[in-house]
């Protein structure tokens, strides 16, 4: 599921908020898109959303809503995912469930909007961009820009996968 993204780094960390935060800070310095898997559930050791919130500047609630509402088409249990999507500087951090089917479903839901979100994050404006509802308005830079270079780090799993 590369889809125009290069995976630049992978990392696996324990269910520890501090370790997850450190991994997210590190990864978001290396990549524009940081994707986590796991730790988004209701269990006592599911702490990825909290760690993500702690390192993000802003949240994109609509992306999390969309992952859940798309997930519900497959299983109602998808609503229990607490995964979020947020920005850190010009990077995006996206939490996916640890369950492979749920992770694929969530990523498939979010993927179509990620390139545009990354463009806007880097200060590119609507006039230079395509068919969005969001108007980041008339900024200084005129004319079309090439798509931002994208790099994805499938980093900072919320938990050690032993399987």
Q: Measure the CA–CA gap between 64 and 69, rounded to whole angstroms.
A: 9
- Encoding tokens for residue 71? 């997930």
Give the nearest distance from C-beta 101 to a copy of itself in angstroms: 7
Q: Measure the CA–CA gap between 7 and 59, rounded to whole angstroms.
A: 23
Distant-in-sequence, close-in-space partners of 126: CB < 8 Å, separation ≥ 6? 120, 132, 134, 135, 136, 137
Nearer to a copy of itself, 54 or 113 (CB): 113
Nearer to a copy of itself, 7 or 136 (CB): 136
Give the nearest distance from C-beta 9 to a copy of itself in angstroms: 21
Nearer to a copy of itself, 29 or 100 (CB): 100
Give the nearest distance from C-beta 43 to a copy of itself in angstroms: 3
Backbone angles phi, psi at 85, to 5 degrees: -135, 130
Give the nearest distance from C-beta 13 to a copy of itself in angstroms: 13
- Encoding tokens for residue 56? 């993000």
Give the nearest distance from C-beta 107 to a copy of itself in angstroms: 12
Where on the chain is the footprint of a copy of itself (CB under 8 A)? Answer: 15, 38-46, 50, 58-66, 68-69, 71-72, 74-82, 87, 97-102, 105-106, 112-113, 116-117, 120-121, 123-126, 131-139, 159-163
> Cα torsion for 48, 133, 115, 113, to the nearest 10°?
50
Backbone angles phi, psi at 147, to 5 degrees: -60, 140
Judged by DSSP in three states, 69 sits in: helix
Nearer to a copy of itself, 8 or 111 (CB): 111
């Amino acid at each position: 599921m590369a889809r125009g993204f290069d995976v630049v780094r992978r990392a696996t960390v324990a269910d520890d908020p501090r370790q997850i935060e450190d991994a997210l800070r590190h990864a978001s310095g290396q990549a524009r898109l940081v994707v986590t898997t796991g730790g988004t559930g209701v269990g006592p050791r599911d702490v990825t959303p909290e760690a993500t919130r702690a390192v993000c500047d802003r949240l994109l609630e609509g992306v999390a809503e969309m992952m859940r509402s798309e997930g519900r088409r497959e299983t109602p249990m998808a609503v229990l995912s607490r995964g979020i999507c947020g920005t850190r500087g010009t990077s995006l951090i996206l939490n996916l469930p640890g369950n492979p089917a749920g992770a694929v479903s969530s990523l498939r839901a979010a993927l179509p909007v990620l390139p545009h979100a990354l463009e806007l994050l880097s200060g590119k404006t609507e006039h230079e961009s395509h068919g969005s509802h969001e108007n980041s308005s008339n900024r200084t830079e005129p004319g079309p820009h090439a798509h931002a270079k994208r790099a994805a780090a499938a980093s900072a799993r919320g938990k050690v996968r032993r399987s």
